[in-house]
Structures are given as C-alpha cells and as structure tokens.
Structure 1
C-alpha cells in the first residue's frame, strides 16, 4: 500500500511540475490530492499525530500570510515544502531543500548563460519533485522506502 501511494505521489508531482513549467500555473485542486496522499503516507509510516496537526496548522498559516501580506512568494513552493516535511525527518528534509535549491540554481544559471533574455523567476516545484525522486531512489537502493 505504501509503495502504491509513493507511485501515486510521484505521478501527481510529475503532472504538477509539468503544469508549472508549461503554464506557470498552480492549481490548488491537485494540491488537495497531495494533502490526502501525503497524509495517508504519514499515517502508514506512523508519524505522530501532533506533527501532522502542526503541519496542517503551518499550511493554514502559510495560506493566510500569503494572501494578506506577502506578494512575492509563489503559491506551490512553500506549501509543498511544508507538506513534504510531514513524511520526512529533519535530516532528510534538509537534504531535500539542498538538492532542490542547488539544482534550481545550477539549471537557471545555465539557462541564463545560454539565453540572451534573463529569467528572473524560478519555478521551484519541478526541482522539489526532482529532489524527492532522488531521495526515493537512494532509499530504494538501500531497500527501504523513505
């Protein structure tokens, strides 16, 4: 069951990343599916209910603060980071942040070097998905799933 949820999570993240690259659009409808899938994974992994509730509170506060006070943070980036913290311990979460940030920096530096037009915006959702896939591959080779 856990592997099926990880496969479903991977497919959904691939689709969300594709939509983010193609249309620069973040649809909250798919984010609700992410919440359900990641919550199910967390429950199956026996994550404490306190941590799950705190993640839901952080998502709620993130939504309130973004709509009222902050204009420059993207819709899906911060929420996806917060949501993925539900299934990771702190060390793996930091590795996820490092891999996604470094890959975004390297790819955007390369794109800006070869293009004449400089791109000021970075869409982080594909890089977060890439970092999640890297962590999943390392865990599969170690014969455990996250």
Structure 2
C-alpha cells in the first residue's frame, strides 16, 4: 500500500504545522528554501506551514528528509518538548517505573538527534544555507 496518499488528520494539522515552522526557524531556512527543496511553489509550502492546506504523508516525509528526521522522530516530541529542551528545561517524565520509559527514551532520542544536527550546523559540520537561530530562553 502506498502511504504517500494518506492525508494527515486535520485535527493534528495545527500541531504539525507549528512543529514544521519551529524546525525551519531553528535551521535558519526560509520558506522559499524548503519549497525549492520540495520542488513546489513557495505559496504552497507557506499554506502547509500555516495549516491552511492538507499535508499528505509522503509530502511530510519529504519535508522531514530535509531535516534528516524520520516521521517517528518527528512525532516523538511535541512542540513544547522541543522548546523546553532548547530553553534548558527538562522533558516532563513520570516518577514511577511505568511503561512510559520507552516512550520517553524515544522522545529524547528524537530531540537529541535534532539538537546534534543544529550543533553541527552551528559549528560548520553540516551544509546548509545558514546557522540555526537560538530561541530566547525566557
């Protein structure tokens, strides 16, 4: 079955769009740069990032490939998790020995992978159009 025809649930579009925006800003990419990489019009990407148009699963995979992230990595962390890590706050974790630990480990692996990419870009270890932008820790 070709998963590229699946459309992301509209209820999740706002969260996905916001995370795509944060990824783009952190990598210091412009909307036009992402659109060029996807071989689509800039306005098409803008509408996806703003949650105004549907994103097919295959298109989401193509966008995430620009950041070298899998869909599993992308869905393993929330926007809040990512911002908390960047601000130096810890990811929320339960106190018990629950089955939550594998979930938290997956989430942390995804966040670490993204942060390593940003560090590599900042130190010139990865090609890209610019250095990542930091977020105000306040």
* Band of TM-score, shorter chain: 0.3 to 0.5
TM-score normalised to the size of structure 2?
A: 0.33
- Give me the TM-score of the superposition, normalised by structure 1: 0.31
